[in-house]
Amino acid sequence: MSQNISSIIYAGLDVAKASLALCLQGTCHSIKNNPAGYRAMLKLFQPFAHLCVVCEATGGYEKAAVTALQQAGVPVAVVEPGRVRHFACAQGRRAKSDPIDAAVLAHYGQAMKPSPTTALSAAQQRLRHCSTRRQQLVQMTIDERGRAEHYADAISRRQSQQLLRLLEKQIQQCEQTIASLLEEDQELLARAQRLDQIPGVGPVVTATVLAEMPELGKVSDNAAAALAGVAPYDRDSGQQQGKRSVSGGRKTVRCVLYMAALSAIKHDRILRTFYARLREAGKKPKVALTAVMRKLVVLMNRLLKNPHFQLAT
């Protein structure tokens, strides 16, 4: 938003499966969570030149409304629910209802002025959907293999084998679709080719990062690490030094970075040396591996931000 941030009106949008509660300048509106409701909401926004909608990430129920608003040119800030709940508690607000939560979101926006969430292109949205589906299928495969160890009867074992073959086939279909999506979009393809230069970063990692972190290449290195959930936070108080730990961020990205880091410390000389140095200094394996994950996401951010940036050899 290029306008003066102090002139922006923040509207709070509490999202449920079937309904939306909108707090706009102190007035709460109840709206259906469907295309007709989105059109009604846009009509309410027409008198306001500078407006930003604040809503929480609610496990997917907010996605259709967010997409509709972004396509209409309305900035939307999708924020972590925990931040808003702490904000409400700090104000002494213990009660919860849809209208109350919408009002809290509006006050949070006015006080904290969150940046609008990056809108995804049509290609990025399709890539995200396909990447998410692949992750679901992989998890289903892991779960079924774990159960299959305990099947004692023939029909269960036979059905399990059939299911695993089906899941494997669908995973391959998702991977083929992801490859096609990258080939069809020149911007995504160029970004994917840059990321592929990093040892340990393969097609799955590349597709997940491009789908789940559209901000990559547009933010600082520290912000990129925080978005991925691999930024260590201090836990100090007075003379006591607490253990640094990571928290928050996008779980899906963090999971693929973990696998990429395992590969990188085997196949990349620089990252292998970096990991070994941390281990020799007494760092635990997961702590050292998290540091490698942070290195990877910082490299990704720099490669996408600067076309002239080259990896060390």
* pLDDT higher than 90, residue 277: yes
* pLDDT higher than 80, residue 244: no
Boundary-marking domain end, from 112, 137, 170: 112
Considering the domain boundaries, does residue 191 fall inside one? Answer: no
Report how far residue 130's alpha carbon sits from residue 182's, in angstroms, rounded to the nearest whole number. 12
| Same domain (yes/no): 174, 232 | no
* pLDDT higher than 90, residue 154: yes
Domain of residue 172, residue span? 122-184
Query: What pLDDT score does 231 carry?
Result: 86
Mean pLDDT confidence for 157-184: 95
| Same domain (yes/no): 105, 10 | yes
Query: What pLDDT score does 311 carry?
Result: 83
Q: What is the CATH number of the domain that holds 52?
A: 3.30.420.40
Closest CA to 253 of 197, 293, 195: 293
Residue with the larger pLDDT of the pair 119 and 12: 12
pTM of the entire structure?
Answer: 0.80
Q: Contacts by 187-191 with C-beta closer than 8 Å and gap 24+?
A: 187/123, 188/123, 188/124, 188/127, 191/217, 191/304
Considering the domain boundaries, does residue 97 fall inside one? Answer: yes
When pLDDT is cut at 50, 70 and 90, the band that residue 4 belongs to is low
Boundary-marking domain end, from 136, 152, 184: 184
- In 50-149, the DSSP E strands lie at 51-56, 76-79
Considering the domain boundaries, does residue 199 fall inside one? Answer: no
* pLDDT higher than 90, residue 296: yes
Is residue 72 helix, strand or coil? coil
Boundary-marking domain end, from 150, 184, 218: 184
Q: Give the DSSP H or E segment for 283.
A: none
Report how far residue 301's alpha carbon sits from residue 308's, in angstroms, rounded to the nearest whole number. 13
Considering the domain boundaries, does residue 13 fall inside one? Answer: yes
* pLDDT higher than 90, residue 276: yes
In this structure, are residues 124 and 178 in contact, taking their beta carbons and an 8 Å threshold? no
C-alpha distances out from residue 277 to 161, 252, 267, 272, 274, Å: 44, 28, 16, 9, 5
Considering the domain boundaries, does residue 310 fall inside one? Answer: no
| Same domain (yes/no): 295, 219 | yes
pLDDT tens column, 9-63 = 999 999 999 999 999 999 999 999 999 999 999 999 999 989 999 999 887 889 9
| Same domain (yes/no): 9, 108 | yes
pLDDT tens column, 212-221 = 898 899 999 9
Considering the domain boundaries, does residue 279 fall inside one? Answer: yes
In this structure, are residues 9 and 48 in contact, taking their beta carbons and an 8 Å threshold? yes
Total domain count, the chain: 3
| Same domain (yes/no): 93, 35 | yes
When pLDDT is cut at 50, 70 and 90, the band that residue 107 belongs to is very high
| Same domain (yes/no): 108, 126 | no
Percent of the chain residues topping a pLDDT of 90: 73
Angle between helices 203-212 and 186-195 (to 10 degrees): 120
Closest CA to 194 of 176, 213, 210: 210
